[in-house]
Structure formats: C-alpha cells, structure tokens
C-alpha cells in the first residue's frame, strides 16, 4: 500500500476506485478544519501488514472504504488483522451492505451504499464526534 495523505484524528483506508471518493471527501473536510489521513491499500491479499501496524499505532479511529461487500471483504480483513494483533480502535466499514441493493445508476448505488464522497464525509464527521467501536454500513 501507500500513504496518500498524512493527517490526524482519523485514518481512511481505501481499496480501488473508491479512493477517488476519499480524496474528494478529504478536500471538502479541509474547509472544516478536519485533516484525516488517507492510505491506499492497493490490494486485499496479502494485506500490507507493515502499513497497518503504522496506521493502528497512530490512529484509534479508522474507516475502510471499498466497492465490494462489507461481509467477508476488505473491511472484514482489517477487523481480522486488528483481532490477530490485539488492536483496539473504532472502525467503520463502508461498502456494499449484506442486503438486497436495488437497481440504479452506478452513482445512485454508490450513494445508497454510503461510499460516495458525500457518504464518506458523513462517516468521517460522525466518527470524529462519536465513539463507534465497530460499525458496518447496512
């Protein structure tokens, strides 16, 4: 993986195309004084454990963003990594929920699933003000 942007308070881990939505969201949040870090994980298997150790040693609030399923996907792999390494952090997983998603344009579906730029902005704002432990967007 690679660090796209240094930041503080919260780290966003993205995989694939939704990383572009993260970049847009962070640009918007900068005007509010929020400065999350952004890491592009590049691949799910194998996880870049060295980078994840860096992330979880610096941040206790982390959001994962993927365009895959939240059950058994990238966010789940991050949860497994946290458990295996005894990391305790608040984690919010954004992706395709484990339920029927109706038909629509790609843009509509990304918004419905909460991993478009607006959904990421909302998730970051909520996480910065609340303690969530583990939350999976459903």
Q: How far is CA 72 from the centre of its chain?
A: 15
- Residue pair 101/113 in contact (Cβ under 8 Å)? The answer is yes
Angle at 83 between CA 81 and CA 88, to 5 degrees: 105
Phi, psi of 61 (to 5 degrees): -135, 120
Q: In the chain, how many domains are there?
A: 1
The range of the structural domain enclosing residue 101 comes to 2-136
Cβ burial of 89 (10 Å; 0-12, 13-18, 19+) is middle
Distant-in-sequence, close-in-space partners of 88: CB < 8 Å, separation ≥ 6 = 60, 82
Band of residue 134 on the pLDDT scale cut at 50, 70, 90: low
What's the chain's length in residues?
138
The CATH number assigned to the domain holding 92 equals 3.40.50.920
Residues 91-120 have pLDDT tens digits of 999 998 877 778 888 788 777 778 899 999
Residues 14-56 have pLDDT tens digits of 999 999 999 999 999 999 889 999 999 998 899 999 999 999 9
Distant-in-sequence, close-in-space partners of 122: CB < 8 Å, separation ≥ 6 = 114
């Amino acid at each position: 993986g690679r660090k796209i942007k240094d930041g503080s308070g919260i780290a966003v881990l993205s995989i694939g195309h939704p990383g572009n939505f993260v970049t847009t969201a962070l640009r918007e949040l900068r005007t509010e004084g929020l400065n999350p870090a952004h890491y592009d994980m590049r691949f799910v298997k194998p996880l870049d454990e060295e980078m994840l150790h860096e992330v979880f040693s610096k941040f206790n609030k982390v959001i994962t963003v993927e365009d895959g399923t939240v059950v058994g996907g990238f966010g789940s792999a991050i949860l497994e990594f946290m458990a295996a390494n005894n990391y305790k952090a608040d984690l919010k997983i954004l992706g395709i929920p484990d339920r029927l998603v109706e038909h629509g344009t790609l843009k509509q579906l990304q918004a419905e699933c909460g991993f478009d730029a607006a959904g990421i902005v909302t998730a970051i704002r909520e996480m910065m003000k609340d303690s969530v432990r583990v939350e999976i967007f459903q």
